[in-house]
Amino acid sequence: MAEPDTEKFYQDADKYWKEVPATVDGMLGGFAHISNTDINGSTKFLRQFIRGENAKTKSHRALDCGAGIGRITKRLLIPLFDTVDMVELNPDFLNKAREFLGEHADKVEQYIAKGLQDFTPEAGRYDVIWCQWVLGHLTDSHLVEFFKRCKVGLAPDGMLFVKENVTSSDEVDKDDTDSSVTRPRDILVKLMMEAGLKIIKEEKQKGFPKGLYDVIMFALT
């Protein structure tokens, strides 16, 4: 897709999220009722790579990208990993996360207030990097560079997971409300390939209401 006015693209997204309530419903754009289905699907998909004799990576440390108030950190990552880091553009969400996580907050080592376009993970730090419903806030070129940095941030045998909406057409859908894009699967995969990633497994999320975008989970190395 044609690159948007980068500065305005990111400024508009920042402005939008500053006005969003720091609640699960706010994080999910009014679709809090899909949270259980979402987490259950993610848990089943992720667990096969970190548990059992066929596990491909370890479960010491995970990174939650675009973490918001910690919905995914609390319900998906903390139950499966020893420690979790959170990276999130809006510092108010990270402040709320400490309260939202409650007794589980001590398993979060780092609360990092940065947009993904400006974030560089520490080399070799993470067994799993989880990116969900956030990559539409990056331009194509910044997404490729972010993927490359994620590869460096993975521990030996570490894995990157992407869970994103995809369009049913071959066109990119632009949302001027939150300053994001929804890409077709083929474009998303093309950007992964440009970054040198390899798809290990791909699966469609089941059980979401009709009328929503399809959501695909990717396991990558």
Q: CB–CB of 98/119 below 8 Å?
A: no
- Residue 200 Cα distances to 31, 49, 56, 123, 215, angstroms: 29, 10, 10, 22, 17
Tell whether residue 26 is among the known ligand binding residues: no
Cα Rg of the chain (Å, integer): 16
Q: How big is the CA angle at 128 (ends 145 and 57), to the nearest 5 degrees?
A: 125
Tell whether residue 71 is among the known ligand binding residues: yes
Using the Cα atoms of residue 220, residue 118, residue 80 and residue 76 in order, give the sign of their dihedral.
Answer: negative
Q: Which residue has the tokens 């993970």?
A: 121
CA 88 to chain centre: 10
Tell whether residue 117 is among the known ligand binding residues: yes
E-assigned strand segments in 88-140: 108-112, 126-132
Q: CB–CB of 131/65 below 8 Å?
A: yes
In single-letter form, the type of residue at position 153 comes to G
Annotated binding site: 66, 71, 116-117, 132
Annotated binding-site residue numbers for S-adenosyl-L-methionine: 66, 71, 116-117, 132
